Amino acid sequence: MPEFNRLSEPSEWIDLEFVERQRTPEFAIQMGIQLHLAGLSLSNTKQHLERLGVERSRTAIHDWVQKADLQPDSDAEPTQIAVDETVIRVNGQRHWLYAVVDPDTNQFLHVRLFQTRTTQLTLLFLRELREKQQVSDVMFLVDDAHHLKNALERLGLRFHVCRHGNRNAIERVFREVKRRTSSFSNTFSNAQLPTVDSWLKAFAVWWNRCQS
């Protein structure tokens, strides 16, 4: 897979301050996180590390991803951003993944998973975005969803309703997210909402690295 080409690059973007003991070499933790986010299942990641002489359980690798607490971020100052939500299944239940993408770079600016879709949750998501990113002069590219338009209006943010053009960037990213979460359905089979939300944020960070 092309995405594995980046595994040979420096991984300073993975902060290992969460590591309390030196039982596992740092390179192995970084490699394990990258492999899993790049597309390997926990079992295959475990097998790859074993070939490097590092034996750790699938649970340990899963915990590395969670404890790293990776959060998508960007120094870019886009003039347009695409925002939307899509359905992700967790334990067989529908959940809503909200995301904001820079159409010029295809990078995530913010992601968040909710159990439902309401104007109030949309407001919460947009306020979190506003804390991370300067968006007062940005044009939001949206579909015709009432809850999204209502939330943007209440926050005084500009938006343009469109189904094509630059807004297609988020549809392309969502297709990849759905492909990955489908292939990792076993990872989410017994996961709680915060665990899945954390994994999706970590995936967004890895994705952004691949787009840069």
Q: At 17, list the tokens.
A: 């301050």
Mean pLDDT of the chain: 84
| pLDDT tens-digit series, residues 85-140 | 888 888 778 889 999 999 888 899 999 999 999 999 999 999 999 998 889 899 99
- Rounded to an integer, the average pLDDT of 138-165 is 91
- For residue 84, the model assigns a pLDDT of 87
| pLDDT tens-digit series, residues 24-46 | 888 888 899 999 888 888 889 99
- Is the pLDDT confidence value at 182 over 90? no
CATH number of 80-189: 3.30.420.10
CB 86 within 8 A of CB 97: yes
Q: At 47, list the tokens.
A: 């097998």
- For residue 11, the model assigns a pLDDT of 58
- Rounded to an integer, the average pLDDT of 152-166 is 88
| pLDDT tens-digit series, residues 184-195 | 555 566 778 888
Please state whether beta strands 158-161 and 139-142 pair in parallel, antiparallel, or not at all (unpaired): parallel
Could you give the angle at the alpha carbon of 187 between the alpha carbons of 181 and 189, nearest 5°? 100
CA dihedral in degrees (34, 111, 82, 89; nearest 10)? 90
Q: At 158, list the tokens.
A: 């500009």
